[in-house]
Amino acid sequence: MRSAADLDLAEAFYAELGLRAERVPAGVTPGVGESVRAEDPLGFTVEFFFSAAHPQRLQQRYDLRRGAEVARLDHFNIVVPDVRAAYDYYRSLGFGLSETIEDGDTLYAAWMFRKQTVHDVAFTGGDGPRLHHLGFFAHESHQVLRICDILGSLQEEAHIERGPGRHGVSNAFYVYLRDPDGHRVEIYTSDYFTGDPDHPVLRWSVRDPRRRDFWGHPVIPSWYTEATPVLDLDGRPRPLVTEKQPAEVIVGADGFTR
Amino acid sequence: MRSAADLDLAEAFYAELGLRAERVPAGVTPGVGESVRAEDPLGFTVEFFFSAAHPQRLQQRYDLRRGAEVARLDHFNIVVPDVRAAYDYYRSLGFGLSETIEDGDTLYAAWMFRKQTVHDVAFTGGDGPRLHHLGFFAHESHQVLRICDILGSLQEEAHIERGPGRHGVSNAFYVYLRDPDGHRVEIYTSDYFTGDPDHPVLRWSVRDPRRRDFWGHPVIPSWYTEATPVLDLDGRPRPLVTEKQPAEVIVGADGFTR
Amino acid sequence: MRSAADLDLAEAFYAELGLRAERVPAGVTPGVGESVRAEDPLGFTVEFFFSAAHPQRLQQRYDLRRGAEVARLDHFNIVVPDVRAAYDYYRSLGFGLSETIEDGDTLYAAWMFRKQTVHDVAFTGGDGPRLHHLGFFAHESHQVLRICDILGSLQEEAHIERGPGRHGVSNAFYVYLRDPDGHRVEIYTSDYFTGDPDHPVLRWSVRDPRRRDFWGHPVIPSWYTEATPVLDLDGRPRPLVTEKQPAEVIVGADGFTR
Amino acid sequence: MRSAADLDLAEAFYAELGLRAERVPAGVTPGVGESVRAEDPLGFTVEFFFSAAHPQRLQQRYDLRRGAEVARLDHFNIVVPDVRAAYDYYRSLGFGLSETIEDGDTLYAAWMFRKQTVHDVAFTGGDGPRLHHLGFFAHESHQVLRICDILGSLQEEAHIERGPGRHGVSNAFYVYLRDPDGHRVEIYTSDYFTGDPDHPVLRWSVRDPRRRDFWGHPVIPSWYTEATPVLDLDGRPRPLVTEKQPAEVIVGADGFTR
């Protein structure tokens, strides 16, 4: 947000929806000024702020770089029981739509953006609300490969859950790791600019095996079953709502004939 | 722009400044709808449009890629006789400032943005108005190197004017080519996101040899002397105005002691 | 070989072993001079020559490069029913040993070299003689990734059988393709120099999941079951001999506890 | 060398040439067994050994990698007053010839090999004997770029003397650094295999500007003037002999018309 007045607007917005929202004093989230935390209609806790401390800029401190060389936090992927409802809500907030997985009747997944990239938030269908993964951007593909090599060196290769590979959706060259607490983290590179006002939506058929892996690798089973529970404003886990749309078809290397 | 009404606003804006502007029918610029062309206060001809044809999306047609693999047009760098005036004008249009080269008294160069990258336009001090270069984004550094290798293979290496190298400003890994008509074209990778509302400006001293080349390479002489003349609305070359700020100091490999 | 006299030596060598060998006139194999073809003790047909035509050197024709950018043919991997016997035979020919997969009692696989790299020939245990794969060297990892991207673009991603990934053995960054006839082809990069006379052997435990994939990916089932039959001097398929050593243990992502 | 007997052969070889040679006990050079040091006919001190300690293998300790990620020492480039004589001497030792810079009358430079790469030793014409540079191999081009970025981060960019760039000769993607004592060190990647017995020599015209820089960059002046003095067996600097062949022509970006 850009000003303290925006915090008032956020608080009023959630109140009007009948949802809980509360003020958080400056510093409770380290480096962040006064904020508003709310439970959104999808069941996720979100936080709004307009003031943040600026740490030292490290982009050109190549001498300090080790390992992953992530450039920035890029997006959240969340598991929602009703992808269409999630799309409608974020659409109402002004988010753009970059890509989907769908068929004639069903929206299986959607990628939406505020900044001018493929996504700030994406929806994976499943029992939710849960966090599917955090996505971090790296500049080049060799930096993604390096993460895997380091984990192999340390005999921590079991933390590599999926990839490296290329997504059809978003064109990202990705790897997914599970952190020591089991949370899923993506490091990726090579998505694209979406800033044109008339940027066209790219719609993938749920029957195209390249949608989730451009190289035809099967999606691993844990992809659709494991995710991180989310907490409400009181720090209690949110109960799960059962997935509404059908599960994605199994294609490609898993045996579906295109 | 987003609508036909925006064209009216653009036309009125330049009229109020006492500058020439004219309507251009759809199709005069191939693929572009009705537009407004104007002579801006800096002496450059600019064109505004809200409708454009969408060619086939080729990002994932890796089978068609040859050579440079540029992802998109990114920015214009223009030669202006008064960098401060150019900055003030683009600031008035709502552009953000990402980086500068300056000292206590003088603004030698500035990088400004509308999209959330380091720049859509940048200013190099010199006799102007002239076009310094067009900048195209590529995803990875090996793609920049490949361009040079192809030119060497074709015995066209004389078209490589500067680089490859790393800019201090913008962090871009760059190469500059001169096209067959002598226009300068940059292919670069690895700049950064500027979309935070409070994104801080990075200010480089004109005495830091890393500002224009992070690896200390001297800036080539043609960098400050050669550029492309620009045409007015009648297609006549714009007369040049002599540079107002002092020329940049010569540093680093050129003999300046830091 | 270095001379016509070497052909005589090769012919005599196989005759002494009681194995078939025959002269092949120049040109039967395109670009190759007079040669000797023989059936070796492992059941593979091999050909020796000392004269070959030199095609145009293309290394610096970057303008012609498309796709895989392989630099050279590097090695053969063969399926043999008795890895120890295969090792003994190639040891008798003067090949060096770079790496193995073994445990206290059994040699499961071995990598052997004449040129100063990890291997010219390697042995995979299984019913044989069969050809497991041909290996081609590429200079950089992005070239390996590019192959996969091109296959995805062409909807031919089903030809990607395994990888990309990092082998523990050899340190190769690899991808395995199946060509239209089903033969397995590896494109890899990043192995190492083995030319020191006292180059030490690297021995991997069959229980280390990183031996075949440094990132812990399970070896795909077809890896141990599918391979190319080989032909005798009369062009008839060689009958298969059943694997002698035990099959490799299943480890890592497949469930084995290290 | 392969045995203690080889040391005797080396000692006898230099004695027969009337050159000084002496035994060095094990451990004088750390990690190296008994050796023979000699002053060779070109004026360089060389050392032969057959036994060396093997340090820990670090190739797959990606977790420890910082900066340059050099894989191995690859070659020496030496400044000699008579390139033809240097070629003849190393030819007599059994070295192969991979590439040259020459014209009808003169050999300006030559690259020679024992291992199966472009060179173990190369000759640059000039007052000698002097050491031009040590060359280290890295696997990928981004690792060469990283070295420069780290030096820029540390404000040590003045240590970058030449490049990064592509050599025509050898195809190496290179950078040359000057270490704190002024010695020149190359980090490079992407040369090629020379192990075929009939590997053809690649001969570059001294008038081809791509011979020393495939991208047409001028060779820097210090390239032909600055090098490291060498010491005799008593640790005294060797006197310099004046260059015999003409200096290389100045071409390409320096003004020569091809």
Is the confidence at residue C257, as pLDDT, over 60? no
- Helix (H) or strand (E) holding D150, with range, is helix D141-153
DSSP characters over A78-147: EEES-HHHHHHHHHHTT-EEEEEEE-SS-EEEEEEESSSSS-SEEEEESSBSEEEEEEEEESSHHHHHHH
Q: Is the peptide bond before D239 cis (omega within 30 degrees of 0)?
A: no
| C141 at interface of D, judged by CB pairs closer than 8 A | yes
Q: How many Å apart are CA C73 and CA C212, to the nearest integer?
A: 21
Is the confidence at residue D256, as pLDDT, over 50? no
A175-179, A253-257, C251-255, D35-39: the lowest-pLDDT one: A253-257
- Helix (H) or strand (E) holding C188, with range, is strand C184-189
Q: Which residue has the higher pLDDT, B17 or B68?
A: B17
Dihedral sign computed on CA atoms, order A201, A204, A206, A211: negative
Residue A231 half-sphere exposure toward CB, CA atoms < 13 A: 6
What pLDDT is stored for residue C221 in this prediction? 85
CA distance B215 to chain D (A): 5
CA distances (Å), origin C106, targets B163, C126, C225: 55, 14, 20
Residue C210, token pair as written in the block:
């990183």
Work out the average pLDDT over C135-147: 97
Per-residue b or e along A94-105, where b marks 16 or more CB atoms closer than 10 Å to that residue's CB: ebbbbbbbbeee
This model of the complex carries an ipTM of 0.94
User: What is the tens place of the pLDDT at every residue in B124-178?
Assistant: 999 999 999 999 999 999 999 999 999 999 999 999 999 999 999 999 999 999 9
Q: How many Å apart are CA C13 and CA C20, to the nearest integer?
A: 10
**Portion of chain B with pLDDT greater than 70, in percent:** 97
Whole-angstrom Cα Rg for chain A: 19
| B5 at interface of D, judged by CB pairs closer than 8 A | no
User: What is the tens place of the pLDDT at every residue in A20-77?
Assistant: 999 999 999 999 999 999 999 999 999 999 999 999 999 999 999 988 799 999 999 9
> What's at A151, amino acid-wise?
L
Residue A14, token pair as written in the block:
């959630």
pLDDT band at residue A221 using 50, 70 and 90 as cut-offs: confident
Residue B72, token pair as written in the block:
């998109």
Of D141, D148, D252, which is closest to B142 when you measure between CB atoms?
D141
Of B115, B139, B197, which is closest to A2 when you measure between CB atoms?
B197
pLDDT band at residue D252 using 50, 70 and 90 as cut-offs: very low
Work out the average pLDDT over D103-120: 96
What pLDDT is stored for residue D154 in this prediction? 97
Is the confidence at residue C20, as pLDDT, over 80? yes
Q: In what order do the strands lie in the sheet with D35-39?
A: D21-24, D35-39, D45-49
pLDDT band at residue C250 using 50, 70 and 90 as cut-offs: low
Interface touch C72/D141, C-beta < 8 Å? no
Work out the average pLDDT over C181-192: 97
pLDDT band at residue B256 using 50, 70 and 90 as cut-offs: very low
What pLDDT is stored for residue B247 in this prediction? 86
Residue C110, token pair as written in the block:
């071995």
Is the confidence at residue D235, as pLDDT, over 80? yes
Residues counted in chain D: 258
Residue D230, token pair as written in the block:
């060498």
Mean pLDDT, chain A, as a whole number?
A: 94
Contact of D108 with D126, CB cutoff 8 Å: no
Of D60, D62, D154, which is closest to A63 when you measure between CB atoms?
D154
Burial class (CB in 10 A: 0-12, 13-18, 19+), B83: buried
Contact of D135 with D76, CB cutoff 8 Å: yes
Interface touch C54/D197, C-beta < 8 Å? no
Is the confidence at residue D127, as pLDDT, over 50? yes
Helix (H, G, I), strand (E, B) or coil at B157: helix
Contact of C89 with C41, CB cutoff 8 Å: yes
Q: Which residues of chain D have a CB within 8 Å of the CB of C59?
A: 171, 192
Q: Which residue has the higher pLDDT, D209 or B179?
A: B179
Q: Which residues of chain B have a CB within 8 Å of the CB of D141?
A: 141-142, 145
> What's at D103, amino acid-wise?
D
Helix (H, G, I), strand (E, B) or coil at B16: helix
Burial class (CB in 10 A: 0-12, 13-18, 19+), A220: middle
Is the confidence at residue D249, as pLDDT, over 80? no
What pLDDT is stored for residue D247 in this prediction? 86
Is the confidence at residue A250, as pLDDT, over 90? no
Q: Which of B123, B57, B117 is nearest to B84 (CA)?
A: B123
Q: What is chain D's percent helix, strand, coil content, to nearest 5?
A: 20, 35, 45
What pLDDT is stored for residue C67 in this prediction? 80
Using CA coordinates, name the residue in chain A closest to D145: A62
Interface touch A116/B195, C-beta < 8 Å? yes
pLDDT band at residue D257 using 50, 70 and 90 as cut-offs: very low
Residues 55-84, chain A: which have Cβ within 8 Å of D?
60-64, 66-67
| B209 at interface of D, judged by CB pairs closer than 8 A | yes
CA distances (Å), origin D182, targets A253, D70, D120: 57, 20, 22
User: What is the tens place of the pLDDT at every residue in A138-168?
Assistant: 999 999 999 999 999 999 999 999 999 999 9
| B193 at interface of C, judged by CB pairs closer than 8 A | no
Contact of A52 with A75, CB cutoff 8 Å: no
CA distance B69 to chain D (A): 17
Work out the average pLDDT over C100-119: 96
Question: In the block, which residue shows the tokens 């709004």?
Answer: A48
What pLDDT is stored for residue A68 in this prediction? 79
Work out the average pLDDT over C37-53: 97
Using CA coordinates, name the residue in chain D closest to C54: D200
What pLDDT is stored for residue B15 in this prediction? 96
What pLDDT is stored for residue B250 in this prediction? 63
CA distances (Å), origin D144, targets A68, B137, C114, D150: 18, 21, 30, 10
CA distances (Å), origin B255, targets A125, B223, C180, D224: 62, 17, 61, 20
Per-residue b or e along D227-249, where b marks 16 or more CB atoms closer than 10 Å to that residue's CB: bbebeeeeeeebebeebebeebe
- Helix (H) or strand (E) holding C44, with range, is none
> What's at C171, amino acid-wise?
N
Of A141, A145, A216, which is closest to C157 when you measure between CB atoms?
A216
User: What is the tens place of the pLDDT at every residue in B79-110?
Assistant: 999 999 999 999 999 999 999 999 988 999 99
Contact of D233 with D20, CB cutoff 8 Å: yes
What pLDDT is stored for residue A257 in this prediction? 35
Q: How many Å apart are CA A51 and CA B220, to the nearest integer?
A: 42
What pLDDT is stored for residue D203 in this prediction? 97
Is the confidence at residue C252, as pLDDT, over 50? no
Q: How many Å apart are CA A210 and CA C157, to the nearest integer?
A: 8
Residue ranges of E strands in C26-104: 35-39, 45-49, 70-80, 96-102
Residue C223, token pair as written in the block:
């890896």
Q: How many Å apart are CA C6 and CA C113, to the nearest integer?
A: 20
Q: How many Å apart are CA A4 and CA A25, to the nearest integer?
A: 12
Interface touch A142/D140, C-beta < 8 Å? yes
What pLDDT is stored for residue D254 in this prediction? 43
Q: How many Å apart are CA D192 and CA D195, to the nearest integer?
A: 9
Is the confidence at residue A213, as pLDDT, over 90? yes
What pLDDT is stored for residue C247 in this prediction? 86
Strands D184-189 and D130-138: parallel
B45-54, D38-47, D65-74, D165-174: the lowest-pLDDT one: D65-74
**Portion of chain D with pLDDT greater than 70, in percent:** 96
- N- to C-terminal Cα distance for chain D? 46
- Per DSSP, B169 falls in state G
What pLDDT is stored for residue D248 in this prediction? 85
CA distance D68 to chain A (A): 11
User: What is the tens place of the pLDDT at every residue in C218-233?
Assistant: 888 899 899 999 999 9
Burial class (CB in 10 A: 0-12, 13-18, 19+), D134: middle
Residue D76, token pair as written in the block:
């020496």
